[in-house]
Amino acid sequence: MMPPSRDEGAVRLLCVAGARPNFMKLAPLLAELSGGARFAPLLVHTGQHFDDNMSGAFFRDLALPEPDFFLGAASGSHARQTADIMQRFEPVLLETCPAAVVVVGDVNSTLACALVAAKLLTPVFHVESGLRSFDRSMPEEINRLLTDAISTLLFVTEESGVRNLEAEGIDSSRIHLVGNLMIDSLLRHLDRARSLRVPERLGVAPGKYGVVTLHRPSNVDQQDSLVEILTALTEISRELPLLFPVHPRTRRQLEQVTLPEGDLRLLEPLGYLDFLGLMADAAAVFTDSGGIQEETTVLGVPCFTLRENTERPATITHGTNRLAGIRRGSILEAWSAFRRQGAESRIPPLWDGRAAARCREVIERYFFG
């Protein structure tokens, strides 16, 4: 049995990660909280993503410590996975008696661990609160709404998040606009990522290729949507070679699809640094990832979001992001409009690499006044 939540003055915090984007957000926060004697953060890896490409490489690239707890959660339906994480997390929380549980993002691990903590009257701190697509067919949207509703401190990346939370009746004293931890990681590792010369290793010249990522079930599990998207991307690849690190769930679906001729090059999944280096020198990125919308905004790389909505409107109002939809015609129209008009970008407020320091300041005020 571990000692209670305050040990020689240090406040114990359980910090939960389950999927790759969680690690990118937690790495700078863990480093910030570990610097000094006030906090004793413990890392819980739920195992929601667990293979070397999907999480192991990220630990090495981001210099994350080995997890203090690995839950080994099962895959399966949303209900099965969420329930399994809850069952495995509860004994860890009871053993460690933390002063608070820190969850990040919008995956099943986020909601599962927040629910366990709230039911055991442990404060929940939610990093990346307030993002809303207003599309409840997305599992992530349900996770966001419910996690925010039971959180004590809500750390917000962009101004739309503050407005959303206030509209939902959350007291403004609990809402803190701190910036974007994903960008802290990007700015910290960008020079090193570029030094790896990933484009050259893959046989393309910087600025002369595009990058593709696809992983959302609504895109890759529905064959009509997948065919529409891939047909458009294949047409674009005839003028701009597209490099496609393939998510495991996507690769299984691609085996069922016959593509027209083009220059769409399928790659194995890349680690954080390799992918950042590839993305940083791309001419364009085509994605359904929320985090990549944010990263391309800061990198100034044109981004085409293969969805009908985004919970990150700052990437459109400030950044290089365009909603391209999921149909061949809408994707090609977005590409044509970009070719005619180009893209301008600004960096949203507080996306400056200091979000972790602001989070720490809020947490210090909560515990120490």
Domain regions of the chain by residue span: 6-179+351-368, 188-341
Per-residue pLDDT, 230: 95
CA distance 82 to 70: 15
Q: Is the pLDDT of residue 144 over 90?
A: yes
CA distance 260 to 252: 18
Catalytic residue among 45, 78, 176, 215, which?
Answer: 215
pLDDT 10s digits, 254-303:
888 887 889 999 999 999 999 999 999 999 999 999 999 999 999 999 99
Task: Give start and end residues of each alpha helix (H) in the chain.
Answer: 20-34, 57-61, 78-96, 108-119, 139-149, 159-167, 181-195, 198-201, 217-220, 223-237, 248-254, 272-280, 290-299, 314-317, 328-341, 355-368
pLDDT band at 49 (very low <50, low <70, confident <90, very high): low
Mean pLDDT, rounded, of the chain: 93
pTM comes to 0.94
Q: Which residues pair with 70 in a beta bridge?
A: 45
Q: Is the pLDDT of residue 53 over 80?
A: no
When pLDDT is averaged across residues 195-203 and rounded to a whole number, the result is 97
When pLDDT is averaged across residues 209-219 and rounded to a whole number, the result is 92
When pLDDT is averaged across residues 182-194 and rounded to a whole number, the result is 98
Per-residue pLDDT, 1: 40
pLDDT 10s digits, 65-119:
999 999 998 778 999 999 999 999 999 999 999 999 999 999 999 999 999 999 9
What is the identity of the amino acid at 248?
P
- 43, 87, 38, 101: which is closest to 67 by C-alpha? 43
Contact assessment for residue 232 and residue 328, using Cβ atoms and an 8 Å cutoff: yes
CA separation (Å) from 40 to 34, 43, 100, 252?
7, 10, 11, 41
Per-residue pLDDT, 287: 98
When pLDDT is averaged across residues 154-171 and rounded to a whole number, the result is 98
Per-residue pLDDT, 5: 54
Q: From 3.40.50.2000, 2.30.30.90, 3.30.1360.10, 1.10.510.10, which CATH number describes the 188-341 domain?
A: 3.40.50.2000
- pLDDT above 90: percentage of residues in the chain: 82
Active site residue 45: no
CATH code of the region 6-179+351-368: 3.40.50.2000
When pLDDT is averaged across residues 201-213 and rounded to a whole number, the result is 97
